[in-house]
Structure formats: C-alpha cells, structure tokens
C-alpha cells in the first residue's frame, strides 16, 4: 500500500544550524508530495509541495526536492530559527484521489 515514513523526533538543534528532516514514501504511481507544519496548539499549514519528479518546493527558507529514484522528499533549511520549532509532517496524495496519506510527524526543537 501507499505510505510515508519520516525520521523520528524530536530533532533538537541550535539556532542557525542546518536542518534536514528525512521523508521517504512508498507508492504505486506518481503522487504529489507535501510538507505541512503544525505550530503548538494550532492546525496544520501547508509549507511546500512538489507535484512531479525533480520539482523543488520552497517556502520560508525551507526546501524539498521530489526524488523519484530514491522515493524521497527530504525537508531542508540552511539556518533554523527558534520560531521554526514545530511538528513537521510529510504527506502524499494522488491526483485521482483526495486523501492525504501522512507520515507520523517529526517534532523540531530549536534552542537559542
């Protein structure tokens, strides 16, 4: 079946450190890939997306590239801030279906 696997958290970094949160997927076909962010006590916000292989999604300094050969969509940021502390979810969705299939989420803690 289709699934998303994320690296376990929490991930704890110091401010200005480089961030990578790994996401790999299993899918029969070519889904669109998403990263959502959930700040404490809030709902989920779409952070970025990529709809086909080699696409790069980017927003607020975060980037992720759709790698079909490694079935991955790793989230990166060059210099994290305390305000980036949140839970990050990787998800996939097929155009022919409306459901998002979610990873378990990775909690990110940034220390000043």
Partner 1 sequence: NAGVMQNPRHLVRRRGQEARLRCSPMKGHSHVYWYRQLPEEGLKFMVYLQKENIIDESGMPKERFSAEFPKEGPSILRIQQVVRGDSAAYFCASWTGSGYGYTFGSGTRLTVV
Interface positions with partner 1 (CB under 8 A): 4, 32, 34, 36, 41-46, 49, 51, 89, 93, 98-100, 102-105
**CB closer to partner 1 out of 17 and 27:** 27
3-class DSSP state of 83: helix
Give whichever of 14 and 45 is closer to partner 1, judged by the CB atom.
Answer: 45
Report the distance separating Cα 96 and Cα 28, nearest Å: 12
**Shortest reach from residue 86's CB to partner 1, in Å:** 14
Give the helix ranges, DSSP H, for the chain.
Answer: none
Antiparallel, parallel or unpaired: β 86-93 and 11-14:
unpaired
Least Å from the CB of residue 5 to partner 1: 10
Measured from the CB atom, the residue of 16 and 46 that comes closer to partner 1 is 46
Q: Minimum distance between the CB of residue 4 and partner 1, rounded to whole angstroms?
A: 8
Decide whether 81 or 99 has the Cβ nearer to partner 1. Answer: 99
Name the nearest CA neighbour of 69 among 30, 15, 16: 30
In the complex, least distance from residue 44 CB atom to partner 1, rounded to whole angstroms: 4
């Amino acid at each position: 079946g289709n699934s998303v696997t994320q690296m376990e958290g929490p991930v704890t970094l110091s401010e200005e450190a480089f961030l990578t949160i790994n996401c790999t997927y299993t899918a029969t076909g070519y889904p669109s890939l998403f990263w959502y962010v959930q700040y404490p006590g809030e709902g989920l916000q779409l952070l970025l997306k990529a709809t086909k292989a080699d696409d790069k999604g980017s927003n607020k300094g975060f980037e992720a590239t759709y790698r079909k050969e490694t079935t991955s969509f790793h989230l990166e940021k060059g210099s994290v801030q305390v305000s980036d502390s949140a839970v990050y979810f990787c998800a996939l969705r097929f155009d022919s279906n409306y459901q998002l299939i979610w990873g378990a989420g990775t909690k990110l803690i940034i220390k000043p």
